[in-house]
Amino acid sequence: METGDDDMNNPDTEKPSKVLTILLIKGPYVSEAADIAFQTALKAKQMGYIVNVFLYLDGTWNSHLTGDKNYNNPGDWLKRLIRKEIQVTLCERCSNARDLTEENIIKGVKIAGSTKLIDYLRDSDKVLTFGG
């Protein structure tokens, strides 16, 4: 099984730097959407692509998984994304509605207005939406 992290030390840097944006609209522990989104992001980064992740609607809840767990934890995947310098952005209005602030989310996740999503959509070669 692909790990998405341990095998990331040999990125294929010869690939052109196309841009992939992943939009996640579902929260953790309701389906595999978050796991698929984050593992796809890590693999794309490893393959040399520029990757953005935008957490939207209930997808913002994934950033709230700051603690350790002894079972599968999408928060751990998010932390790996941050370590690999993948830009992870949280929808500001969605965050406000759920009382998510920079104080109670995973460090390194940025909160921005939905215009940031428009920038991503405009500047990406491909956009994948998970959780629909």
Does 9 contact another protein by CB under 8 A?
no
Site for another protein contains 123 (CB under 8 A): no
The secondary element (H helix, E strand) that includes residue 24 is strand 19-24
d(CA 120, CA 35): 21
Residue 67 identity (one-letter amino acid): G
43 in contact with another protein (CB under 8 A) = yes
CB-count exposure of residue 89 (10 Å: 0-12, 13-18, 19+): buried
Strand partners, 130: 24
Q: Which is nearer to another protein, 41 or 100 (CB)?
A: 41
Among 30, 32, 96, 104, binds another protein (CB under 8 A): 32
Residue ranges that bind another protein, judged by CB under 8 A: 1-2, 4, 18, 20, 31-33, 36, 39-40, 42-44, 47, 49, 125-130, 132
